[in-house]
Amino acid sequence: MARIDLDHIRHSYLPNPTSPSDYALKEVNLTFEDGGAYALLGSSGCGKTTLLNIISGLLTPSEGELLFDGKPVTELSTEARNIAQVFQFPVVYDTMSVYDNLAFPLRNRGVPAAEVDQKVNEILKIIDLESKAKRKAQGLTADEKQKISLGRGLVRSDTNAILFDEPLTVIDPHMKWVLRSQLKHLHKQFGFTMVYVTHDQTEALTFADKVVVMYGGEVVQIGTPDELFRRPQHTFVGYFIGSPGMNVLPCEVDGTMARIGDHSVPLQCGLDPKKVAQKTEVGIRPEFVKLGGAGEGLPLTVNNVEDIGRYRILRGEMDGIALNAIVGEGESIPESPTALFDPTQTNLYADSWLVSEGA
Amino acid sequence: MEKTVNNKAWFMVLPVLLLVAFTAVIPLMTVVNYAFQDSFGNNQFFWVGIEWFQELLASERFHDALVRNLIFSFTILAIEIPLGIGIALCMPKKGWGVPVCLVLMALPLLVPWNVVGTIWQVFGRADIGLLGYFLNSLGINYNYTQDPVAAWATVIVMDVWHWTSLVVLLCYAGLVSIPEAYYQAARIDGASRWAVFRYIQLPKMHSVLLIAVLLRFMDSFMIYTEPFVVTGGGPGNSTTFLSIDLVKMAIGQFDLGPAAAMSLVYFLIILLFSWVFYTVMNNAGTEKKQYAGEE
């Protein structure tokens, strides 16, 4: 268990990177507190796995330093860092029994047999594979195999952190819930620092205390699920988190008003006149778009209404710009609807980054 | 669901049945037929029962050839399999080295067998051969036409040169199919180099190794062309393997009956050994079957 600091970490898979686009991971400064449950969220190719492999030592970063509890470990080998990692596809040693699979990381480190036995039996109980301890790992189902991979990560009590690289990709949907709640439970029980990479927002939001959102090799926001939902720091966060994602509408800023097409909506704060922005946008979550009658708000053309049970998703457009709204149960959709934006939840983005009050 | 029986289907498979009959079944049956008869030419045959088999199984000449062949096969397996695995492990997994290595490895396999024999026959000659001249100038008395040890060494080294590539290519195919995550997980688990080989690489190569052992055993047990070209089975009978002996008997002496009997016994021996290898290696890797009913 340890606090993990990433200090000016950059990585490129090219031998001689020159421009910023050569870097798979653009400068990352990040701290994972000891005992925290973190999720690294982002779309494919955003650098999540690169970052994870840098922490575990499978990759050496091109630049920057990695510290465990303040001690530099950038040059240390994977074994010496004492990290556990669970991969996307289950890795089991086919010819070994389930028991031996779990004992493998301990035996490699010369742990005495009695301790190995005690520890392995404990883990077998946790991952619920006691009845299959003696059989070969070959021929087990995908989720049983992934439980073994997970168990190998948990078996060492002195690991600095456990890293998960999209570990539930190959698992059946109903087992995903079971395994995820088991993970959450294990985190509470053992207090390991856990970093969980995923592109599934539900997984990230349910597992982690803090979510690190990555986009194009950069960390765009770190926050609790609630912060990510209410105050997305970057339009990508707004778009990526939430279903459907945040509406992003190009606008022109006039004081504390934003002009979208021929209409104006009030903002909480205006743009700093000293800053020059190439592109300004208004971001509002579909949850905070209310429907009004003709003349009350911005005129809206309804393209489609999806009823997904508890609420309906209205997919419409305004002057050719797509706009989604969530319509609650029992609420009716007016004949010629207009969109009303909740001013406290209307965010302004300059060059994709949130403009906040103080700035 | 009831299966519909349509006897017309037999007509559809008839061409294949005829083809197999003419190319495999009838020739094999002819051999079986010859094995129980004696012939004095002129297409006259006399029924002799199992006499040829009794004679063959009691014959010292057959025993010697069989033992020589077994020693040869097991020697080349003992060299080619570990050597092949070793070379495959050393080969690069990506970059420009991959095609270079693959082409180098494939080269010996592309050389016709009698040419391989000729190459080594010349290569080993003391007067004009590079190898023979070099060894003799070092003071080693190397002459494969007179010395049985030299003849054996030549035949074995030639086979290793010719066929280790096959084992390498098969093992390499098995190795490159291992996902990178396995090696990463092994590093996380603190596995030694030996443990990686024993628990990741070897199990993944298991099925290709089975094919390699079977192919190399069958081929080496039937080896004919290369030793025939290099040593002609000599000096004396020291490199006369079963196939060389069989050809001497059938074509050289025109003893069709004994040769047919020998062919059948030869065939059954190869079948038996192949079955044993297959069963042993298959069981060694997959003990899962006993658990199959457990789920």
A76 touches chain B (CB under 8 A): no
Residue with tokens 């991971």: A25
Interatomic CA distance for residues A196 and A199, integer angstroms = 10
Exposure of A156 by Cβ count < 10 A (0-12 exposed, 13-18 middle, 19+ buried)?
buried
A149 touches chain B (CB under 8 A): yes
Residue with tokens 């038996």: B272
Q: Is B175 a domain residue?
A: yes
**Residue B290 pLDDT level (bands cut at 50, 70, 90):** very low
Partner-chain residue, chosen from B190, B288, B294, that has the shortest CB–CB distance to A109 = B190
Q: What percent of chain B has pLDDT over 70?
A: 95
Residue A109 DSSP label: T
Interatomic CA distance for residues B264 and B254, integer angstroms = 17
Q: Which element (helix H / strand E) includes A165? A: strand A161-165
B278 touches chain A (CB under 8 A): no
Interatomic CA distance for residues B85 and B82, integer angstroms = 5
Interatomic CA distance for residues B188 and B200, integer angstroms = 14
Strands A83-86 and A161-165, by their bridges, are parallel
Q: Is B189 a domain residue?
A: yes
Strand-pair partners of A67: A5, A72
Interface test mutation site (partner A, options B183, B188, B199, B290, max chain A beta carbons within 10 A): B188
The Cβ of residue A260 has, within 10 Å, a number of other Cβ atoms equal to 20
Q: Is the pLDDT of residue B292 over 60?
A: no
Residues sharing a CB contact under 8 Å with residue A8, sequence separation 6 or more, in sequence order:
A27, A28, A29, A63, A64, A65
In chain A, CATH 2.40.50.140 sits at 243-355
Exposure of B31 by Cβ count < 10 A (0-12 exposed, 13-18 middle, 19+ buried)?
middle
Q: Is B202 a domain residue?
A: yes
Interface test mutation site (partner A, options B177, B182, B189, B194, max chain A beta carbons within 10 A): B189
Give the distance from residue B223's alpha carbon to the nearest chain A alpha carbon, in angstroms. Answer: 35
Q: Which CATH architecture has domain A243-355?
A: Beta Barrel (2.40)
Structure tokens at B37: 């008869």
In chain A, CATH 3.40.50.300 sits at 4-235
Q: Is B52 a domain residue?
A: no
For residue A228, the SS3 value is helix
Cβ–Cβ < 8 Å for A189, A111: no
Residues sharing a CB contact under 8 Å with residue B252, sequence separation 6 or more, in sequence order:
none
Read off the CATH number of the domain in which B87 is found: 1.10.3720.10
Interatomic CA distance for residues A122 and A205, integer angstroms = 29
For A256, B121, B235, B241, B243, the CA distances from B148, given in Å and listed in that order, are 102, 15, 6, 13, 19
Torsion of the alpha carbons at A252, A257, A258 and A261, rounded to the nearest 10: -90
CB–CB contact B190 A87 (8 Å): no
- Amino acid A127 reads I
Exposure of A201 in the CB half-sphere (CA atoms within 13 A):
17
Residue with tokens 């035996």: A107
Interface test mutation site (partner B, options A94, A107, A149, max chain B beta carbons within 10 A): A94
CB–CB contact B199 A95 (8 Å): yes
Exposure of B165 by Cβ count < 10 A (0-12 exposed, 13-18 middle, 19+ buried)?
buried
pLDDT in tens, chain A (359 residues): 688 888 888 888 888 878 777 888 888 888 888 888 898 888 887 888 888 888 888 888 888 888 888 888 888 888 888 888 888 888 899 888 899 999 998 998 888 989 899 989 988 888 888 888 888 888 888 888 888 988 888 888 788 888 888 888 877 888 788 888 888 888 888 888 888 888 888 888 888 888 998 888 888 888 888 888 888 888 888 888 888 888 888 888 887 888 887 788 888 777 776 677 778 888 888 888 888 887 778 888 888 888 888 888 888 888 888 888 888 877 888 878 888 888 888 888 888 888 876 54
Query: pLDDT per residue over B5-41, tens digit each?
Result: 778 888 889 999 999 988 988 988 888 888 888 877 6
Calculate the CA B192 to chain-centre distance.
34
> How many domains are there within chain B?
1
Strand-pair partners of A249: A282
Q: Is B73 a domain residue?
A: yes
Tell me the longest C-alpha to C-alpha distance in chain B: 80
Residue numbers in A near B285 (CB within 8 A): 95
Residue with tokens 């969980």: A196
**Range list of H helices, A191-269:** 201-207, 225-230, 235-240
- Write out the CATH class of domain A4-235: alpha beta
Residue B76: the pLDDT is: 94
Partner-chain residue, chosen from B185, B285, B288, that has the shortest CB–CB distance to A87 = B185
**Range list of H helices, chain B:** 9-20, 26-35, 51-58, 60-90, 97-110, 113-123, 130-137, 148-176, 180-188, 193-196, 202-221, 225-230, 242-247, 256-285
Cβ–Cβ < 8 Å for B203, A94: yes
Interatomic CA distance for residues A220 and A254, integer angstroms = 27
Q: Is B125 a domain residue?
A: yes
Interatomic CA distance for residues A55 and A73, integer angstroms = 9
Residue B289: the pLDDT is: 43
- Residue B99's domain comprises 59-285
Interatomic CA distance for residues A60 and A156, integer angstroms = 24
